[in-house]
Amino acid sequence: MKKELLENGFVSFDITSEYELELLSKIYSNLSYDGFNKLVVSYDNVSHTHQVQPSTFEKLNKTKDELIETDNLAQIWFSAFDQSSETNLLLKSIFYKFYEYTDVDFLNIITLYNNGCFIIPHLDGKDPNRIMGVLIYLNKEYNEANGGNLILKNETKIVPEYGRVVIIDYTQNSVKHEVTKVLEGERYAICAFIHKKQ
């Protein structure tokens, strides 16, 4: 899979090892809807990200519903900071299957997309120290028709089903991607970027 990742710019697979599935199960069992305390939004350009941190989640939802009507909205979704030991162990287990860097930093969040959340097609900004981006989905019995699917290179659709992993390589690639609008339900994912330490 490493060759495929470097040649294609991305690779997707489902977690199968007992160790990683056990870690994933612990992460899933600790998910809390109330933990998503930031709304990430951008206008016109995904790279110009703004974060709204309200006093309550209910207030945030009202703000989201108002923002979703904005014509130049480029992305909107919720995030929660995540440095749990289970998530870090899972990310390291996956990372070292593909790369041999030893001195790296992991930046982890968990994302929540609910009705109306999306990201327009875009390329991630250039960063010479960025090695890899990884998504690990946390949605059991997810319905593809609900939206929230990841589209890579305008053609490859990834349904965000539980235990599915998507890796994007930044050492040799820049892959255009988007998340289609969620039409129903909730879509959770671990989202991490791995960088070389400076």
Q: What is the DSSP letter of 146?
A: G
- 24 Cβ contact partners less than 8 Å away, ≥ 6 residues apart: 15, 90, 136, 138, 162, 163
Mean pLDDT for the stretch of residues 157-168: 98
Supply the pLDDT for residue 153: 94
CB 38 within 8 A of CB 52: yes
Residue 136: C-alpha distances to residues 6, 48, 51, 65, 189 (Å):
19, 24, 22, 27, 5
Whole-number average pLDDT of the chain: 92
> CATH assignment of 2-32+81-196, given 3.30.420.40, 2.60.120.620, 3.40.50.720, 1.10.10.10?
2.60.120.620
The candidate with the shortest Cα–Cα distance to 115, out of 50, 45, 68, is 68
Over pLDDT 70: what percentage of the chain?
Answer: 97
Supply the pLDDT for residue 56: 66
Question: What are the tens digits of pLDDT across the range 101-110?
Answer: 989 999 999 9
CB 131 within 8 A of CB 194: yes
Positive or negative: CA dihedral 82, 114, 181, 59: negative
Supply the pLDDT for residue 20: 98
Binning pLDDT at 50, 70 and 90, where does residue 2 land? confident
Supply the pLDDT for residue 32: 86
- Residue 94: phi, psi to the nearest 5? -75, -45
Question: What are the tens digits of pLDDT across the range 29-64?
Answer: 999 888 898 999 999 989 888 888 765 667 777 788
4-8, 138-142, 163-167: the lowest-pLDDT one: 4-8
Domain boundaries, the chain: 2-32+81-196
Mean pLDDT for the stretch of residues 78-89: 93
CB 90 within 8 A of CB 136: yes
Q: Global pTM?
A: 0.94
Binning pLDDT at 50, 70 and 90, where does residue 93 land? very high
Residue 38: C-alpha distances to residues 8, 110, 185 (Å):
33, 11, 19
